[in-house]
Amino acid sequence: MSVHQAGTTSSVERVDLTPMPSEVPQVQELGTTSAPLKSAAFFIGAYCKEYNEDFMLCKNESREPGHCLKEGRRVTRCAQDLITKMRENCLSQFNDHWNCLEKNNQEYYLCRKPERTLNACMFEKLGLTKTIPGGGLQGQQVHEKANPIFKAMQK
């Protein structure tokens, strides 16, 4: 015969009080959820390309977690800079796009209209274009197609 025992969980938040080493630069977290990050992902990839490449080269050198903290902080700082610029220059388009992603299970193909306005604003104000790596073998990116195969289903 089995006996039921109530689970025990602690409601106390656990915080690591160990300070970061002084040689590692301090950086704040981005403070965004997955939808805004997904909305800005391709722009972050283009804007922070050099920092991302440095980080990946560092990770190839050593798999030890503390080895690439400086490079990781630079990537975070660069992404933070771009998110701030996006909010300053294209706030309504950015909000429209990530809210659409949030409401549609984070599927890009369901949010092409707000994506096009965001892409136009980012090019106009910041000079950044969305380019999908390895995409568009015939010269056209998937997000630029006028009549895509995959569309939102009518119910």
Contacts of 115 (CB under 8 A, 6+ apart): 97, 108, 130, 143
Please report the pLDDT score of residue 86 as a whole number: 94
pLDDT tens per residue, range 86-121: 999 999 999 999 999 999 999 988 898 999 999 999
Residue 137 lies in a domain: no
Residue 122 lies in a domain: yes
Query: What number of residues does the chain have?
Result: 155
pLDDT tens per residue, range 50-75: 999 999 999 999 888 788 888 998 99
Residue 9 lies in a domain: no
Residue 95 lies in a domain: yes
Residue 123 lies in a domain: yes
Average pLDDT across the chain, whole number: 83
Residue 141 lies in a domain: no
Residue 13 lies in a domain: no
Rounded Cα–Cα distance for residues 123 and 38 (Å): 18
Structure token pair of residue 136: 């568009």
Please report the pLDDT score of residue 143 as a whole number: 56
Domains contained in the chain, number: 1
What mean pLDDT do residues 112-134 have?
A: 87
Please report the pLDDT score of residue 154 as a whole number: 45
Residue 142 lies in a domain: no
pLDDT at 42 over 70: yes
**Structural domain boundaries enclosing 75:** 34-130
Percent of the chain with pLDDT over 90: 45
